Amino acid sequence: MTASLRIQLDPNLTATGSVTIKATIHNPSDTPITFLTWSTPMDPNAGILGVFEIRDTDTGDLVPLPTIHMSRRGPPFVDDLNEVPANGSITAQVDLPCVPLVHGHHYTIQAKGTWHALWKGPIERVTNHHLENLIEAERGEFESEIGLLVWD
């Protein structure tokens, strides 16, 4: 199931050098998929949780991004879930603060991490019992498609 979700990034660079990303998760299957948003591009704190990796393609170096480590008290709440409809997509906007980019360089950006819990089916089927123990949930790694940034 984790392989069926695809993540696409559409990054934009503002005049001040900050990066805004439109993150889209596509579900090409005929079944909705519900997932725990923690540490995914849909997490409200994704911009500072180390979900995104930016690499300078001119030097090959990773761009240092400010990150924090967040401990979450479990179990998650229903508000921590998101559903991707069958054959559908969901999007979120993520702002990356303080990105030290160099004029004239090209960059790649990618989201990487772990799906902590995914369930086949609509969000209504995920009960508090499922959330307490993350039962019937699948885990797996994710990597988005690579997005491109150019600062001319």
Residue-range domain boundaries for the chain? 2-150
pTM metric for this prediction: 0.92
pLDDT of residue 152: 75
pLDDT of residue 70: 82
CATH class as words, domain 2-150: mainly beta
Distance CA 89, CA 145 (A): 15
Which is it for the CA torsion 70, 137, 84, 22, positive or negative? Answer: positive
pLDDT of residue 13: 85
Tokens representing 77 are 């709440």
Nearest to 84 by CA among 135, 10, 28, 140: 28
pLDDT in tens, the chain (152 residues): 666 899 999 999 877 778 999 999 999 999 999 999 999 999 999 999 999 999 999 999 999 998 888 887 778 999 999 999 999 999 999 999 788 888 889 999 999 999 999 999 999 999 999 999 888 999 999 999 999 998 77
Tokens representing 101 are 């980019």
CB-based contact 110:147 (threshold 8 Å): yes
**Around Cβ 88, how many Cβ atoms within 10 Å?**
14
DSSP 97-114: -S----TT-EEEEEEEEE
CA distances to 20, 57, 102, 134, 137 from 151, in Å: 13, 12, 7, 42, 41
For residue 104, which phi and psi values (nearest 5 degrees)?
Answer: 85, -5
pLDDT of residue 1: 65
